Amino acid sequence: MISKIEKIRQQVIVCKKCELCKYRTNAVPGKGNFNADLFFIGEAPGRSEDRLGEPFVGVAGKKLSIAFEHAGISRDEVYITNVVKCRPPKNRVPKEDEEKACQKYLKSEIDLIKPKIICIMGNTAYRSLLGGNNILKNRGKIIKKNGNLYFLSVHPAAIIYNQALMSTLKKDMKSLVKTLNRLNEG
Ligand code: SF4
């Protein structure tokens, strides 16, 4: 299994399936625990992630870490990835054809890790995976689809522009952990 995830990593690093490959410094494969119960999906790498080749290591990543800490989640026990693995120019929202081109990597990550809950962070992941919109209205909800369990939350980058969302993210992470605990208790 580790070798299968590593294979995806290697494919992402050299991938040229969409035009985002032209703008990247580094592609950013998912990272984390291959046996994770919790699997987090954001939108796309930002500037720091593009520079370092790792997901959620910039300002948004720090916000996410704060919310994780608040809920008692360790980064070592979860898996974190994005809808697209290369940074769109000026952090624009990924285009549909880019999301489509990158979809097979995300699907393989989910299929291999088989998390108990997939946490959707933000509108892009919500639309791309579940066809939803208005994450602010729907955050905190749990959705079952195609055998997977999804939990909806805000994207940590949104906190940069709206500080009030920090408490929303913290609250959601606590609720996510409670949901996981309930599942584990059967
Ligand atoms: S965004 Fe995805 S599909 Fe596009 S080049 Fe990067 S890894 Fe490949």
Give the domain range for residue 132. 2-181
Burial of 31 (0-12, 13-18, 19+ CB in 10 A): middle
The verdict on residue 163 lying in a domain is yes
Which residue CA neighbors atom 3 of ligand 1 most closely? Answer: 102
d(CA 83, CA 103): 7
pLDDT tens digits, 99-134:
999 999 999 999 999 999 999 999 999 999 999 999
CATH number of the domain to which 52 belongs: 3.40.470.10
DSSP-derived secondary structure letter, 20: G
Q: How confident is the model at residue 186 (pLDDT cuts 50, 70, 90)?
A: confident
pLDDT confidence of residue 116 = 98
For ligand 1, whether the C-beta of 17 sits within 6 Å is yes
d(CA 151, CA 23): 31
> Which sign, positive or negative, has the C-alpha torsion 120, 174, 176, 85?
positive
pLDDT confidence of residue 2 = 64
pLDDT confidence of residue 24 = 98
d(CA 122, CA 22): 25
The number of domains in the chain is 1
pLDDT tens digits, 128-172:
999 999 999 999 999 999 999 999 999 999 999 999 999 999 999
Mutation pick for ligand 1 pocket among 21, 81, 128 (CB with most ligand atoms within 8 Å): 21
Could you write out the DSSP letters of every residue in 102-159?
HHHHHHHHHHHH--SEEEEESHHHHHHHH----HHHHTT-EEEETTEEEEEE--TTHH
The verdict on residue 94 lying in a domain is yes
Which residue CA neighbors atom 2 of ligand 1 most closely? Answer: 102
Which residue CA neighbors atom 4 of ligand 1 most closely? Answer: 18
The verdict on residue 186 lying in a domain is no
Q: What is the mean pLDDT of the chain?
A: 97
Please answer whether residues 124 and 83 qualify as being in contact, where contact means their C-beta atoms are separated by less than 8 angstroms. yes
The verdict on residue 128 lying in a domain is yes
pLDDT confidence of residue 1 = 58
For ligand 1, whether the C-beta of 109 sits within 6 Å is no
d(CA 83, CA 154): 15
d(CA 69, CA 64): 9
pLDDT at residue 69 is higher than 80: yes
The verdict on residue 55 lying in a domain is yes
Say if pTM beats, i.e. exceeds, 0.95.
yes
The verdict on residue 92 lying in a domain is yes
For ligand 1, whether the C-beta of 101 sits within 6 Å is yes
The verdict on residue 77 lying in a domain is yes
For ligand 1, whether the C-beta of 8 sits within 6 Å is no
The verdict on residue 112 lying in a domain is yes
Residue type, 11: Q
